[in-house]
Structure 1
Amino acid sequence: MTTALRRLRNYIDGEFRDAADGRTTEVVNPATGEPYATAPLSGSEDVDVAMAAAEAAFPAWRDLIPAERQKVLLKIADRFEERAEELIAAESENCGKPIALVRSEEIPPMVDQIRFFAGAARMLEGRSAGEYMDGFTSIIRREPVGVCAQVAPWNYPMMMAVWKFAPALAAGNTVVIKPSDTTPASTVLIADIIGSVLDELGHPRGVFNVVCGDRETGRLMVEHKVPAMASITGSVRAGMQVAESASKDLKRVHLELGGKAPVVVFEDTDIAKAVEDIATAGYFNAGQDCTAATRVLVQESIHDEFVAALAKAASETKTGAVDDEDVLYGPLNNANQLKQVKGFIERLPAHAKIEAGGEQVGEKGYFFAPTVVSGLKQDDEIVQQEVFGPVITVQSFTDEKQAVEWANGVEYALASSVWTKDHARAMRMSKVLDFGCVWINTHIPLVAEMPHGGFKKSGYGKDLSAYGFDDYTRIKHVMTSLDG
């Protein structure tokens, strides 16, 4: 007996719609490996209609006083709390994530982030007016950029949607967002929540739109003539393609791409505490996090002790069913990602040693065991390239100079951490580590008030914080003659 698949739909100009040409794609639950829904495979006509809706809604939304936009965002945050169990269920099915962890680790920060940007909506000030030429006064206007084309990833589809729409809407922009083709369910539910709030408060229905689809749909959005800005969280390859496409009409671009975070552990570290925290930060969300603590550099004097402790922690870390409250993480998101992680393990050089894990687990779904690999060299593929799975690599360094050289010796530059009791060393390392974030004796905490974003091939622009809000505004100089 075949179970009917749930039908997800685009949300455009306040209405749920199928793709204009009727095309769909199946959506698979990664915990089971079985399809549970269909979603639109949107084409150029769908993108045109969504962009037209956002463009038409922009003037009225732009011209609202900030306090009114704040009211909308605050009500959206309240509605997220009211409908939290629906969001949790959608995200768990989207990603195979443990229900308890979505409830405790994703809903509270998302609500907080929306409320933070609700406050930021009222902080559109410029520098003080003044006379810089005799007889003239200059003022600065902070304005929204316009329609924003946004592409969210599959690792945190719900939270990354919040990171994109919240600052954009707060600043007075309108939005067309595309979720990943493997994880559209929670974004479609978010559209229902935001749409109901906009309707209740009497605001234009085209302020927020969701277009489901694949890479081609995303390309059509980025290359469309309407958006003034394109924002993507995704792979380096995808970011480069977006930057190239956006360059054709000089769109503003916001890119949050891959990471290969170094975790530098010095010999004076509390090994037990460091191992506990690093294992959690490395395996959480199956390591599918651009900031995950998956590239550990350990001073040689404590290397063997550290590796043994980390392998033990890995063997005690549990992955499994969404309703099991003892698991730390669920499956990899899709079959292609499972294949990629397996490929890294299969291609390990002869000098590498698998200390724990290294294999797929479970009879169904895309689960992979918590893995530790030691004996690696700086130029090994698994050290240089993002695995995006529950795999922690370990290298042994001799001194601070070598630690810095190896930590910085990758193409990514998103996040890093330093583990030491030596305050001066921690300060030196935080200065020279070439990453957008440096944690000291911790790894992975984020707060709405602080920026998240990297350098080099990790992209440019910031999420969260006032800096993330600024990215969705433009600066205008207005000069007036004092002669009347």
Structure 2
Amino acid sequence: MSTILANVIGGEHVLAADGRTSPLIDPVTGEQAGTATVSAAPEVEAAMSAAAKAFATWRRATPARRQDALLAIADGLAARAEEIADAECRETGKPRAAMTGEEIPMCVDTLRFFAGAARHLEGKAAAEYMDGLTSWIRREPIGVCAQITPWNYPLMMAVWKIGPALAAGNTVVLKPAESTPTSTAILAEVAAEALPAGACNVVLGDRDTGRLIVGHEVPQLISITGSTRAGIQVARSASADLKKLHLELGGNAPVVVFDDADIPAAVEGVIGGAFLNAGQDCTAGSRVLVHSAVHDAFVAELAKKAAAQRTGLPSREDADFGPLNNADQLDRVLGLLERLPDHAKVHTGGHRVGDRGYFIAPTVISGLRADDEIVREEIFAPIITVQPFGTEAEAAELANGVPQGLASSVWTTDHARALRMSAELDFGAVWLNNHGALTSEMPHGGFKHSGYGKDLSAYSLEDYTRVKHVMSSTG
């Protein structure tokens, strides 16, 4: 096989006809660790043609056939777990234990969930809503789905995309992030063994490749997980052809800690929720709001725990997290730290670690205000900001006072307060006395600038279907 990572189109490895490639950079060292093809119009056209051709047959596949295929893909991923972990750790720098112990098992579980969900579509009962006429609902696949995934969880986000799309009878053209394509290419190889040729295609490339995919006339649905800026650009492009959109965009999760909370548990929850994957998680609990009565003690304990977090190589068994993914992200985060207002207080961290790779020290910052840049922006780094509040109403106002609306958590021993806050918080997920737990059976998706559409759960499967009303005369 070529040393250049290739597209997987129609079940075959395909390099860009013009020979363009891009380097794959190891974020641990900042040095090149591989090379990937960069696709242009011919490769995008080939993938769309393959997906359209496969849709003609895959849409007719029985739910049992789709289930078998998804179960086979799940088994194939499990069989290639070590190879996938090698590839993803090389391109993300995340701890290997996170891949083998958490992410790959969840990917396998998600595919198995959608395998079962494929056989359990729901809809209104057939009935006579007019005399002499019977109505019923058909849920049908939409068609070819164009999907774009980010670099923070390359394999997991690809699985979240293809799982519901294939379960519903659609076919896929997916573009992974330019810096982290290898695990997704392996997924496409596994899928090709279980699916009709062209049902699941992976096209590698840069932003220009993504624009070609989004702007192509064939896809009937565009799905992207990425930044709010990227989602807005995709929405503008897709609107020209009235394509359906499925957007899972940036987050800026508040963690609301009341004075009656179990403070040690809340501190541990914040540490786990904010530093997971070096904070490069759209649900990262990096924006902490703490009742003024316990603010100072909470910050002191949080800073102590944060300072003990370990960043290091993927092979380091005691590493809590790895580097940021790329040089651009490092520069962006360092810029946020350099522009901190005078009233901000850095308790620990606040700097780059070493001069090789893209490591940031675990950081805790207090003294911030609601309109500060680092509070309003999604940080996507191992950085925690802390703000005080006095009342329940103020906590809700501060929590909701950002453009994003993906996830949130509340820490309190008052059950009634927890229920009130869960209703007041304008976020697609509210965790009570925990932060960040995900399960295949429950939906993941946000409001406002965090986009719309759900990943995971039966709600995601519904997003990848269209509803048709059929009415028949009974006379």
- The alignment's TM-score, normalised by the length of structure 1, stands at 0.97
Matches of residues 391-406 of structure 1 in structure 2 within 5 Å? 391-406=383-398
Deviation at 1:83, TM superposition (A): 1.2
Tell me, yes or no, if structure 1 residue 352 matches structure 2 residue 348: no
Q: Letter of the aligned partner of 2:257 in structure 1?
A: V
- Which residue is 2:370 aligned to? 378
Tell me, yes or no, if structure 1 residue 455 matches structure 2 residue 447: yes
Gaps in structure 2 of 5+ consecutive residues: none
Work out which of the residue numbers 321, 324, 327 in structure 2 matches 1:329. 321
Matches of residues 47-126 of structure 1 in structure 2 within 5 Å? 47-126=44-123
- Which residue is 2:178 aligned to? 181
Deviation at 1:59, TM superposition (A): 1.2
Q: Following TM superposition, where does structure 1 have runs of at least 4 consecutive aligned residues deviating by more than 4 angstroms? A: none
Q: Letter of the aligned partner of 1:143 in structure 2?
A: E
Q: Letter of the aligned partner of 1:431 in structure 2?
A: A
**SS at 1:63's partner residue?**
coil
Task: Indicate conservation of the 8 Å contact 1:94/1:186, yes or no.
Answer: no
Deviation at 1:283, TM superposition (A): 0.5
Work out which of the residue numbers 354, 367, 374 in structure 2 matches 1:362. 354
- Which residue is 1:282 aligned to? 274
Distance 1:75 1:192 in 2: 12
Distance 1:281 1:482 in 2: 58
Deviation at 1:138, TM superposition (A): 0.8
- Which residue is 1:41 aligned to? 38
**SS at 2:431's partner residue?**
strand
Q: Letter of the aligned partner of 2:294 in structure 1?
A: I
Deviation at 1:481, TM superposition (A): 1.1
Deviation at 1:273, TM superposition (A): 1.5
- Which residue is 2:15 aligned to? 18
**SS at 1:28's partner residue?**
strand
Tell me, yes or no, if structure 1 residue 228 matches structure 2 residue 225: no
**SS at 2:87's partner residue?**
helix
Distance 1:280 1:82 in 2: 29
Q: Letter of the aligned partner of 2:318 in structure 1?
A: D
Task: Indicate conservation of the 8 Å contact 1:232/1:256, yes or no.
Answer: yes
**SS at 1:127's partner residue?**
coil
Gaps in structure 1 of 5+ consecutive residues: 199-203
1:245-282 deviation line (CA, Å, top 9, x unaligned): 11011000000000110000001112112111211110
Q: How many residues are matched? A: 474
- Which residue is 2:142 aligned to? 145
Deviation at 1:90, TM superposition (A): 1.1
Deviation at 1:197, TM superposition (A): 2.4
Deviation at 1:237, TM superposition (A): 0.7
Distance 1:93 1:191 in 2: 19
Deviation at 1:399, TM superposition (A): 1.0
Work out which of the residue numbers 453, 459, 477 in structure 1 matches 2:469. 477
Distance 1:420 1:126 in 2: 38
**SS at 1:324's partner residue?**
coil
1:76-119 deviation line (CA, Å, top 9, x unaligned): 11111111111111111120111111111101111110000001
Deviation at 1:152, TM superposition (A): 0.4
Deviation at 1:363, TM superposition (A): 4.1
Distance 1:73 1:41 in 2: 28
Task: Indicate conservation of the 8 Å contact 1:6/1:36, yes or no.
Answer: no
Distance 1:197 1:149 in 2: 20
1:408-435 deviation line (CA, Å, top 9, x unaligned): 0000000000000010110000000000
Distance 1:225 1:155 in 2: 29
- Which residue is 1:156 aligned to? 153
Distance 2:403 2:176 in 1: 26
1:122-153 deviation line (CA, Å, top 9, x unaligned): 11242111111111111111100000000000
1:345-399 deviation line (CA, Å, top 9, x unaligned): 0000000011110111134211110000000011100011111101000001111
Q: Letter of the aligned partner of 1:357 in structure 2?
A: G
Distance 1:133 1:451 in 2: 35
Distance 1:363 1:347 in 2: 21
Distance 2:62 2:102 in 1: 33
Tell me, yes or no, if structure 1 residue 438 matches structure 2 residue 403: no
Q: Letter of the aligned partner of 2:456 in structure 1?
A: L
Distance 1:235 1:125 in 2: 32
- Which residue is 2:24 aligned to? 27
**SS at 2:120's partner residue?**
coil
Work out which of the residue numbers 306, 310, 322 in structure 2 matches 1:314. 306
Deviation at 1:242, TM superposition (A): 0.6
Distance 1:273 1:258 in 2: 26
Work out which of the residue numbers 380, 403, 409 in structure 2 matches 1:411. 403
Q: Letter of the aligned partner of 2:117 in structure 1?
A: A
